[in-house]
Structure 1
Amino acid sequence: MEAIPLSQDSARRLLSAAGFDGPRARLLALGENAVFALAEGPVAKVGRTVELLERARHEMRVARWLAEQGVPAVRAARAEPLLVEGSPMTLWEPLPAPVRQTRPADLAQLLRLVHALPEPPFPLPERDLLGGVERWLGLAQGHVDPADMAFLRARRDEYALAGREVKPVLDPGPIHGDALPRNVLVGPDGPVLMDLETFSTDLREHDLVVMALTRDRYGMPDSQYRSFTSGYGWDVTEWDGCLVLRGARETASAAWVAQQIPGNPAALAEFRRRVASLREGDPAVRWHSF
């Protein structure tokens, strides 16, 4: 099934179709998924298309395993996803209100736990960092310059090949896959890991490059980056493979914005900013978060 744009209104309609009170649901996030706090109690995550159903199942499987391992992470409120009019929907136990803003050191603390885990009793995929590029660009078909789409596709292929040649410093194994402070909530009992869809087994360095890119592209203060590397115990930018994983992540991040473009002029402007900076090879251009 072809992916279709997901809006807040369409996601609320899907909640209602599943038997929930869609109009009263409180929107928490709108990205590749729409995430709502339901009046009925749980948190619902609504995906765009049936193509993401297996990914939703994977996330719930990972959540159960992390609970068994004692890792502080979100807990599923239902064993399997719902499928509502072709869109997967997962339900989660609500988290307490945060006691403070998440700090990079909180993320480092959780990554140390995740990176110490053994392989689970079920197969984890490799981190397919660039696998979503085609889907994200497809959502912007007709809204962006075809030359920009062709550029990102070529760059995706280039970094996919280069990524196979990097030699890690850390032992490969389970990773979060999208290790950002926004995917951590600090509750009364400490930091809790969220958004487990990209949980994989791969180079641990994937999880660390994200924060280096956050400093360089999104303007995170260097002092905060140093608190992250100190909390984790190593700075990935000291590794000669960092530029390759960073380039792949930048490619994916530029393409990711494309899914927001229909109906959102700000997303189109940001997409153009990111692509232009990659074309020009300018690592100093600041990107805006979406």
Structure 2
Amino acid sequence: MRFGLFASVVLHLAIVGAGFILPQFITLPDVTSEPYIPLDLIAEAELDLTTSVPAAAPEPVEEEEPDPDLPEPQVEEPEPAPAEEAAEPENLPEPEPEPVVEEPEPEPVKPEPKPEPKPEPPKETPKPPVKKPEPKNDDLDLDALSQLIDKEREDERRETPRDTPSQTTETADRERPAIGAGDRLTASDEAKMRAAIQRCWNAGTIIGAPEPEKLIVVIDFELNRDGTLASSPRVVNELQINLSGNQFWRVAQREALSAVSKCAPYDFLPVERYESWKEFRLNFNPAEMVGR
């Protein structure tokens, strides 16, 4: 163990001593400077020729390692040759100037033709208003004539007393054409007609009317053999109703016409007595319809 440690110390000391002693015995070769070679300027054409042919690379010369034991001979350094004046460049031919390419002049841009202005449409001259001919004084005044007729009707209505329901019925019976004894409508057939039409009567429209027994409506209508209406029902006392100005009477008239049309066909009437009921007249008494 001690021997190994001793040997290690001696070996390290020997290595350190050799590092200080050996460099004194080793000499390095002197570095000689290469001589200066002047360069001449050559033309580009000659440069292309020289560069086109690659020069043969010289074979490397093995340098003999100097013997470290022998002292190297001292080589006298040659004095540097005076720098030769740089050769003046040969007169090179001036390069030919490149031909100037004349650019074509741009064609002048033709101005776009301006659109022709559209002719303005001729202004329509306003037509002079046509003057209406003034009515002559000798022409009839329709408004005045209408007022005069209305006044006359009003006077006639005031002078003519209203007919009572009995008078209305008598007048309607006188206007009705007479029917022969063999063609007379039986009471049962008439009762059936009244009962059928009463079912189609809207009694609510007359409720509240003053004196409903005076609002009698007399209607004529014609029937076919199958009981259908041959023509539209007609109110016999229509003029009297319109002149009365009674709104309830007009409602009774409208409801009577509607009831006759709604209840058709009257197919319960006997066909063998068609001549007796083909023309039918019926007196509508609102008081009887509402049960008063």
TM-score normalised according to structure 1 size:
0.21
More strand by share: 1
More helix by share: 1
> Considering only CA atoms, is the larger Rg found in Structure 1 or Structure 2?
2
TM-score normalised according to structure 2 size:
0.21
